[in-house]
């Protein structure tokens, strides 16, 4: 007799299946391109490149699991890892949806809300990309206008700024330390830029957890 899986069991089952499938697709694409065009990379050079870069991504990947699961729930995390663009799209969308529904990611309601919001975000993003690809040629002169350029540069800061106001107002004492850390890092370490956001989010979360633990022990929270 077939066992009926609970919601969370089905989430983990489907998440693992799709995660493995996505990994295979990612690996198969360059392999098929190499086979079709008869052009294979030098294995020695490829191995050196992988050994030089892979450890960083392994570390970030492990940290992101422990960072995003409490924030997005299991279903939201699986879906985010499959669809990508987590820190600057899926994460703000899920957090805002759960905030409006007044639920936690660790609750069953939060699991559902987070997963639905990320799914809708992925669908909307795909539709916008399709429209953008179709309209890119006629819209290029407008998008490259010097008048609009400052606005495009401020989209991500505006998005996180809106979310920050809500959470900082609720946890003012706790927010001071991570804000100071990120200001110091981005001001005095020029190598950090917008491309490092995916790495700095887990770093900021772990630092905040450590500070919160210390402040709690001292009775400051």
List Cα–Cα distances, 33 to 27, 41, 109, 117, in angstroms.
Answer: 11, 11, 43, 34
Give domain status of residue 213, yes or no.
Answer: yes
- Exposed (0-12), middle (13-18) or buried (19+): which is 156, by Cβ within 10 Å? middle
My answer on whether 177 and 166 are in the same domain is no
Confidence category of residue 194, pLDDT binned at 50, 70, 90: low
My answer on whether 145 and 188 are in the same domain is no
My answer on whether 143 and 51 are in the same domain is yes
- Reported as a single tens digit per residue, the pLDDT across 88-115 is 788 888 988 998 888 888 888 888 999 9
Q: Where are the beta strands (DSSP E) in 12-98?
A: none
Three-state DSSP state, 6: coil
- Reported as a single tens digit per residue, the pLDDT across 9-60 is 888 899 999 889 988 998 898 899 989 998 888 888 888 888 877 777 777 7
My answer on whether 94 and 201 are in the same domain is no
Place of tokens 């370490």: 189
Give domain status of residue 48, yes or no.
Answer: yes
My answer on whether 156 and 199 are in the same domain is no
Last residue of a domain, one of 148, 170, 192: 170
Give domain status of residue 2, yes or no.
Answer: no
Task: Indicate whether 136 pLDDT > 90.
Answer: no
Query: How many Å apart are CA 179 and CA 164, to the nearest integer?
Result: 10
My answer on whether 181 and 130 are in the same domain is no
Three-state DSSP state, 192: coil
My answer on whether 24 and 110 are in the same domain is yes
Task: Indicate whether 75 pLDDT > 70.
Answer: yes
Distance of CA 78 to the CA centre of its chain: 11
Query: How many Å apart are CA 110 and CA 97, to the nearest integer?
Result: 9
My answer on whether 136 and 153 are in the same domain is yes
Tell me if 8 sits within 8 A of 111, measured CB to CB: yes
Give domain status of residue 217, yes or no.
Answer: yes
My answer on whether 204 and 122 are in the same domain is no
DSSP 8-state assignment for residue 89: I
Phi, psi (deg, nearest 5) at residue 23: -60, -40
Q: What is the number of other CB atoms lying within 10 angstroms of the CB of residue 73?
A: 29
**What residues make up the domain containing 109?**
7-170
Tell me if 205 sits within 8 A of 95, measured CB to CB: no
My answer on whether 164 and 178 are in the same domain is no
Number of domain units in the chain: 2
Query: How many Å apart are CA 161 and CA 12, to the nearest integer?
Result: 33
Query: How many Å apart are CA 177 and CA 51, to the nearest integer?
Result: 35
pLDDT at 197: 64
My answer on whether 94 and 74 are in the same domain is yes
pTM tops 0.85, yes or no: no
Tell me if 181 sits within 8 A of 204, measured CB to CB: yes
């Amino acid at each position: 007799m077939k066992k009926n899986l609970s919601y969370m069991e089905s989430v983990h089952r489907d998440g693992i299946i799709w995660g493995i499938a996505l990994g295979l697709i990612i690996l198969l694409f360059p392999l098929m391109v190499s086979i079709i065009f008869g052009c294979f990379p030098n294995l020695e050079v490829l191995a050196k490149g992988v050994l030089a870069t892979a450890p960083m991504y392994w570390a970030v990947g492990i940290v992101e699991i422990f960072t995003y699961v409490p924030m997005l729930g299991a279903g939201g995390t699986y879906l985010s890892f499959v669809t990508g663009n987590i820190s600057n799209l899926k994460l703000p969308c899920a957090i805002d949806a759960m905030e409006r529904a007044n639920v936690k990611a660790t609750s069953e309601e939060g699991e559902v809300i987070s997963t639905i919001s990320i799914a809708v975000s992925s669908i909307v993003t795909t539709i916008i990309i399709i429209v953008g690809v179709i309209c890119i040629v006629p819209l290029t002169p407008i998008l490259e206008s010097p008048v609009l350029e400052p606005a495009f540069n401020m989209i991500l800061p505006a998005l996180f700024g809106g979310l920050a106001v809500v959470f900082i107002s609720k946890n003012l004492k706790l927010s001071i330390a991570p804000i100071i850390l990120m200001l110091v890092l981005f001001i005095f370490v020029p190598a950090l830029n917008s491309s490092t956001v995916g790495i700095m989010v887990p770093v900021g979360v772990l630092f905040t957890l450590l500070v919160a633990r210390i402040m709690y022990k001292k009775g400051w929270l």
